[in-house]
Amino acid sequence: MKIMYFLFISLASFLLTNSAFAGGAGSCPTTYTNWSTSWTDSGNYTKYKLKAPVEVFIGCPFDTTATVTDNQFPNNWVGGPWAIYDTYSSASSGKVKTTLMQGGVNGELDSISTVNGQWQRVITQTYAGTPYDHKLEFAFKDMGTKSYSSTSGMQWTGGIIGSITLDPFLITLASSSTFRVDQQSSTVIPASVFNPANASLTYRWLEGSTLLQASLPVDGSGNAPLNLSLLPALSAGSHTYTLEVTDGTSIASDNISIVISPALNGGTGSSQVPIMDGWWLLSGVFIGIGMLARRQIRNSD
């Protein structure tokens, strides 16, 4: 009975210590934090809007959305020629401007014509190569309030611009976590790096300017963990650890906030059993112990 009890407690301790930092391989984000910017004509009829992510990553697709709304003329030709441009600058090539999509250059053909008060175009793209920050522009000619009368040629040129920060690597790392001093020897902080180009990457961990772990290669699955058992004894309190990843040219980084609490009962060794951290496992442990006890009673009868 004592042996089985010890096995239950040991299993609970293992699950609790390791599940707090469960992680997986890196992948592209399914959602982004977006910015949007807009322009409205002087008659306050037609509104032009451009939306795209604040931050994107090499190898990860994202959407840029241009939307035009006009409730005054919900099913009409409200804009002439239009285009969506993507621009970046590099030391070797200077300013590079690409036309992602355009229309309306031949009159109403593919011009900005609203249907039920809205016109919209969505562009999906993926950046590759060197990570330069980009500017997106939605340029257009608004027909204006007089375009619906006999007066022609009353067009006002408009344009809206927003910026995208392009990071070289997508790091997956928890923002915060907590463990006890006596759990250091069994704790690994996992992190992963999305590396679609299969570049040769290295990583290191720091606390401020103090090096915690020297540079190591990111493995084939994109893992870049910090094994706390390899570090000197950590003190209780709050810590901020930084993961840096590089391909030798570009650097990406992310932080995790760690709170280290004292050991149970004031202990310092790994003999402390972290059962109270896993209150959600207590019911299963006690049910198992109860079943074994009842079985032992039946066998003794």
Mean pLDDT of 220-241: 92
Q: Is the pLDDT of residue 76 over 60?
A: yes
Residue 124 neighbours by CB distance under 10 Å:
9
Residues 225 and 280 grouped into a single domain: yes
pLDDT band at 227 (very low <50, low <70, confident <90, very high): very high
- Residue 27's φ and ψ, nearest 5 degrees, are -155, 170
Total number of domains in the chain: 2
Q: Is residue 109 part of a domain?
A: yes
Domain boundary among 167, 198, 227: 167
The pLDDT value recorded for residue 256 is: 95
Residues 194 and 108 grouped into a single domain: no
Residues 51 and 156 grouped into a single domain: yes
- Residue 151's φ and ψ, nearest 5 degrees, are -80, 125
pLDDT band at 293 (very low <50, low <70, confident <90, very high): low
Q: Is residue 85 part of a domain?
A: yes
CATH, residue 98: 2.60.40.730
Q: Check residues 7 and 77 and name the one with the higher pLDDT.
A: 77
Residues 16 and 105 grouped into a single domain: no
The pLDDT value recorded for residue 297 is: 52
Domain boundary among 130, 148, 167: 167
The pLDDT value recorded for residue 12 is: 38
Q: Is residue 184 part of a domain?
A: yes
Task: For residue 230, give Cα distances in angstroms to 82, 141, 211, 226.
Answer: 59, 63, 13, 9
Q: Is residue 143 part of a domain?
A: yes
The pLDDT value recorded for residue 106 is: 66
Mean pLDDT of 170-182: 90
Q: Is residue 28 part of a domain?
A: no
Q: What is the DSSP string of 245-295?
A: EESSS-EEEEEEEEEEEPPGGG--STTS---GGGHHHHHHHHHHHHHHHHH
CATH, residue 246: 2.60.40.10
pLDDT band at 263 (very low <50, low <70, confident <90, very high): confident
Range of the domain at 109: 34-167
Q: Is residue 159 part of a domain?
A: yes
Residues 192 and 198: their CA atoms lie apart, in Å, by 13
The pLDDT value recorded for residue 27 is: 78
Q: Is the pLDDT of residue 268 over 70?
A: no
Residues 201-213 have pLDDT tens digits of 999 999 999 999 9
| Helix (H) / strand (E) containing 65 | strand 62-70
Q: Is the pLDDT of residue 192 over 50?
A: yes
Residues 95-152 have pLDDT tens digits of 999 999 999 776 556 789 999 999 999 999 999 888 899 999 999 988 875 444 434 4
The pLDDT value recorded for residue 73 is: 87
Q: Check residues 4 and 128 and name the one with the higher pLDDT.
A: 128
Could you write out the three-class secondary structure of 4-61? HHHHHHHHHHHHHHHHCCCCCCCCCCCCCCEEEEEEECCCCCEEEEEEEECEEECCCC
Mean pLDDT of 221-227: 93
Residues 261 and 181 grouped into a single domain: yes
Residues 191 and 252 grouped into a single domain: yes
Residues 48 and 159 grouped into a single domain: yes
Residues 139 and 206 grouped into a single domain: no
Mean pLDDT of 265-276: 42
Mean predicted lDDT score pLDDT of the chain: 79
Q: Is residue 214 part of a domain?
A: yes
Residues 19 and 40 grouped into a single domain: no
Domain boundary among 122, 140, 167: 167
Residues 11-30 have pLDDT tens digits of 333 333 333 333 334 678 88
Residues 27-65 have pLDDT tens digits of 788 899 999 999 998 888 899 999 999 999 999 999 999
Residues 179 and 153 grouped into a single domain: no
Residues 292 and 215 grouped into a single domain: yes
Residues 121 and 220 grouped into a single domain: no
Instruction: Please name every residue paired with 35 in a beta bridge, in sequence order, or none if there are none.
Output: 52
Percent of the chain with pLDDT over 70: 73
Q: Is residue 29 part of a domain?
A: no
Q: Which of 150-164, 181-195, 244-258 has the lowest mean pLDDT?
A: 150-164
